Amino acid sequence: CMQAPGGDRVMLLLKTGATELYQKLPFHFSTTLKCVPNFLIVSDMEHTIAEHVIFDAIAPVSAYRKQHQEFELYRQLQQARKDGRDPSEIQREGAWMLDKWKFLPMLHKAFEIASETIDWFVIIEADTSLSWTNLLQVLQRLDHTEPVYLGAEDAMGASSYAQGGAGIVLSREALRMLEDVRNSEGAAEYDARWEKDTSEHCCGDEILSRALLEAGVWLDATWPLFQSETLSSIDWTNKHWCSPAITWHHVTPFGLSEMWQFERAWIDGHGWREPYLYRDVFAHFIAPQISTNRSNWNNLSADKKFTNPQLDQFSPWETLKDFERAATESQDACAQACLHPLYSDCTQWMYLYGRCHLGNSLKYG
């Protein structure tokens, strides 16, 4: 798979944290990274795992890292490294705040070390499952000489950005435009300005989006190619059905392994020229698990909730119809509520003593 068509023109940036390196990173070495010729692992502590060098994306940050409260964990990690201690023993409190400082420095580093043959830069996190074959097939249809910025769109105020955990794709041209602004202003001045901005905002992916916008690069929202759900939480509807599935987020090491094995089997049967779609993922992972009833299982039904007032004093009990109240008394009555003409969109239901939840889309849970 190291010779997959177009794979040598992509640099993968895998962003993680030192406190979780040994819990999550080894699974990537034995799965996705086996197929990726060019990758950069980014963390908040310089480290080496086997022959793989981890880039410390916090080190380039200026005086902020010496005094700002958000760098307390970073200072602890550096001391642990000096003392030869396992970084996973350090409490992870503050890791999320530290993460936002990595985005711009890691892209500056990636552009610096990438050969001229690299056309695409792709960012994922340690709990992101990435379909290498689907990604490459989509990128082959795009023009890297244009300023391309792809991902699952989210919004914060007036700012629209690609969610980091769902995967971010930048063309060489997009990153070149970002670096041109930095070089024109002067790296020190540019970095100081964006470090101040970072200290005042919460999220690195949103900050990156504004830096790209300043350089003239706009987001092209590409959901559901890139999305941040898991196999358990996604709603299986026609909104996804016929689209290639490139990323999943909040995936456990077990889930990473399962998706990897599924993809290997797909490539063995279909090659590198046919992407698998959400419907193929559903047929393999979800369809075999569907049954009429399943006990001790939360299927995440939540579109309509009926709750006995003894369990929730804010339950709108007085406004419920008789069959809706009855739905809280037994699983059979809850199932009948799902079949009621008033809820013709109901696809699944979940009953827990005194509670009946209806769902309009199929979720595995």
Question: How many C-beta atoms surround the C-beta of residue 246 within 10 A?
Answer: 30
Query: Which residue has 């197929």 as its token pair?
Result: 35
pLDDT for 76 beyond 90: no
Kindly give, in sequence order, each residue whose CB lies less than 8 Å from that of residue 354, ignoring residues fewer than 6 positions away.
307, 308, 310, 311, 328
Whether the per-residue pLDDT at 93 is higher than 70: the answer is no
Whether the Cβ atoms of residue 15 and residue 143 lie closer than 8 Å to each other: no
Per-residue model confidence as pLDDT tens digits over 100-143:
999 999 999 999 999 999 999 999 999 999 999 999 999 999 99
Report residue 212's pLDDT band, with 50, 70 and 90 as the boundaries: very high
Q: How many CB atoms lie within 10 A of CB 260?
A: 21
pTM (whole model) above 0.95: no
Q: Which two tokens stand for residue 131?
A: 């379909």
Which residue type occupies 323? F
CA 279 from chain centre, in angstroms, equals 20
Q: What is each CA distance from 304 to 154, 253, 345, 357, 362, in whole angstroms?
A: 25, 33, 11, 6, 14
pLDDT at 86 over 80: no
Task: Name residue 24's amino acid.
Answer: K
Structural domains in the chain, CATH included, are 7-281 (3.90.550), 304-359 (no CATH)
**pLDDT, tens digit, 9 for 90 and up, residues 302-342:** 999 999 999 988 889 989 999 999 999 999 999 999 999 99
Is residue 80 pLDDT above 90, yes or no?
no
Question: With 0-12 CB in 10 A as exposed, 13-18 as middle and 19+ as buried, what is 341?
Answer: exposed
> Which structure tokens are listed for 193?
């300005």
